[in-house]
């Protein structure tokens, strides 16, 4: 029975969720439920759900309004998170609801992981030098571990079509731009065409996250520099869980590394304001590993050759430009929830220009 004490909010009706979860005994949520939108994401919507006994879960659903038909697939995100549980740090999943009549869209429920998501420069500035170093190293180590998981061993052998992945990605983001185009972006088509004419050879196919970056993970941080391990060494930060698997698939792992480097800002360099709307510009502080150190650590862990990274970084700028243009399209139509969406459109032309510079370096 729907509880009138649980008010609805944009994109979610807690009372309807409570009714649905009543038939899911492994969750055991006690109504009424309350919900709060978790800030930070610019795509799928994430809410913290609490029941009458103050137990908490996290609910994910697609964004409001206009989206590419193949994007924001809840079944896909739920499947990869469930399959990877126990191999790399991910939140435990509980239930997938594919009935859009419940809240207006499919959704799934997962555990609430304790830790901190580093979304702002102030958060990163507040870390110690040692914490920043271990945050960066843990981030790279988890990415390398993900790319070492055998898809067949975790039931994901059919999770994508690795052959031709990079070409299909270019096709996908071409379609995404066409589906949300409301203005002309100088150089965007030329960047896409240039990438298509210089696609590198994929060395290995692995499970990809698709949007791997600092603010898409939950970090477990030691309380202070005095926290020590049994050997008397300072306790290191570590990734508690990786989130936002909506773009995961099987494909070229260097696409994940290229995107991570696109967001990464080496200490001592001017801030990349163009990435502020998308979660970049966080790592310009002493202690964070440099881009070169990230590449070397990843290469040592995976054995992959990274000579073509400029192409992957150029591709990541192209992909991010199209994603932000889609967000700009939805924001202009009042179909976004939360803050920061108004900056998305302004970042797109600059991303295209920087992407073209990286592509020129491959020639």
- For residue 244, which of 276, 211, 277, 278 has the smallest C-alpha distance? 211
Cβ neighbours for 108, distance < 8 A, ≥ 6 positions apart: 59, 60, 74, 77, 78, 93, 94, 95, 96, 97
Give per-residue pLDDT as tens, 61-93. 988 764 544 445 899 999 999 999 999 999 999
Q: What sign has the CA pseudo-torsion 57, 10, 281, 200?
A: positive
Q: Which domains occur in the chain, in start order?
A: 14-111 (3.30.200.20), 121-360 (3.90.1200.10)
pLDDT at 4: 42
pLDDT at 221: 94
Give per-residue pLDDT as tens, 11-65. 899 999 999 999 898 899 999 999 999 875 556 889 999 999 999 999 999 887 6
Cβ neighbours for 70, distance < 8 A, ≥ 6 positions apart: 172
Residues 38 and 48 sit within 8 Å (Cβ to Cβ)? yes
Most confidently predicted of 38-52, 221-235, 259-273: 38-52
Query: What percentage of the chain exceeds 70 in pLDDT?
Result: 84
Taking the CA atoms of residue 183, residue 263, residue 221 and residue 216 in that order, the dihedral angle to the nearest 10 degrees is: 40
Pairwise CA distance, residues 173 & 193, whole Å: 12
Backbone angles phi, psi at 208, to 5 degrees: -110, 145
Query: What percentage of the chain exceeds 90 in pLDDT?
Result: 65
Task: Count other Cβ atoms within 10 Å, centred on residue 152.
Answer: 9
Tokens found for residue 3: 């509880």
pLDDT at 278: 55
pLDDT at 318: 95
Residues 33 and 5 sit within 8 Å (Cβ to Cβ)? no
Pairwise CA distance, residues 336 & 352, whole Å: 23
pLDDT at 113: 96
Cβ neighbours for 61, distance < 8 A, ≥ 6 positions apart: 11, 12, 44, 45, 47, 74, 103, 105, 106, 107
Is the confidence at residue 240, as pLDDT, over 90?
A: yes
Burial of 163 from C-beta contacts in 10 A (0-12 / 13-18 / 19+): exposed
Is the confidence at residue 141, as pLDDT, over 80?
A: yes
Which residue blocks in the chain are alpha helix, DSSP H?
Answer: 14-21, 74-84, 121-126, 129-146, 165-179, 188-196, 254-263, 291-302, 309-332, 344-360
Pairwise CA distance, residues 146 & 283, whole Å: 22
Cβ neighbours for 159, distance < 8 A, ≥ 6 positions apart: 79, 80, 151, 207, 248, 249, 250
How high does pLDDT run on average in the chain? Answer: 87
pLDDT at 176: 86
Cβ neighbours for 138, distance < 8 A, ≥ 6 positions apart: 219, 236, 237, 238, 239
Cβ neighbours for 10, distance < 8 A, ≥ 6 positions apart: 37, 64, 337
Residue 124's pLDDT band (cuts 50, 70, 90): very high
Cβ neighbours for 201, distance < 8 A, ≥ 6 positions apart: none
pLDDT at 282: 87
Cβ neighbours for 11, distance < 8 A, ≥ 6 positions apart: 37, 45, 47, 61, 64, 103, 104, 105, 337
């Amino acid at each position: 029975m729907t509880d009138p004490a649980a008010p609805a909010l944009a994109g979610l009706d807690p009372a309807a969720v409570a009714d649905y979860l009543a038939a899911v005994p492994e969750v055991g949520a006690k109504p009424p439920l309350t919900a709060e939108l978790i800030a930070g994401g610019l795509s799928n919507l994430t809410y913290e759900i609490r029941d009458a006994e103050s137990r908490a879960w996290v609910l994910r659903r697609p964004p409001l309004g206009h989206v590419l038909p193949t994007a924001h697939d809840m079944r896909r995100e739920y499947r990869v998170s469930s399959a990877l549980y126990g191999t790399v740090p991910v939140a435990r999943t509980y239930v997938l609801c594919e009935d859009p009549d419940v809240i207006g869209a499919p959704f799934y429920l997962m555990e609430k992981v304790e830790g901190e998501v580093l979304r702002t420069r102030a958060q990163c500035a507040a870390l110690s030098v040692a914490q920043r170093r271990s945050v960066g190293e843990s981030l790279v180590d988890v990415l390398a571990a993900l790319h070492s998981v055998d898809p067949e061993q975790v039931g994901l052998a059919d999770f994508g079509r690795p052959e031709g992945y990079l070409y299909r990605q270019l096709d996908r983001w071409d379609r995404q731009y066409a589906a949300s185009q409301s203005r002309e972006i100088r150089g965007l088509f030329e960047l896409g065409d240039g990438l298509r004419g210089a696609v590198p050879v994929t060395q290995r196919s692995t499970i990809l996250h698709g949007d791997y970056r600092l603010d898409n993970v939950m970090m477990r941080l030691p309380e202070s520099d005095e926290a020590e391990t049994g050997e008397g060494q300072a306790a290191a930060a570590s990734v508690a869980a990786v989130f936002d698997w909506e773009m995961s698939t099987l494909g070229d792992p260097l696409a994940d590394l290229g995107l991570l480097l696109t967001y990464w800002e080496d200490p001592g360099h001017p801030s990349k304001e163009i990435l502020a709307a998308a979660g970049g510009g966080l790592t310009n502080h002493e202690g964070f590993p440099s881009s070169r150190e990230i590449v070397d650590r990843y290469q040592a862990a995976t054995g992959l050759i990274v000579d073509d990274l400029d192409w992957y970084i150029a591709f990541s700028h192209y992909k991010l430009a199209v994603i932000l243009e889609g967000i700009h399209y939805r924001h202009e139509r009042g179909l976004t929830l939360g803050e920061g969406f108004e900056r998305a459109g302004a970042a797109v032309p600059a991303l295209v220009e920087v992407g073209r510079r990286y592509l020129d370096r491959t020639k």
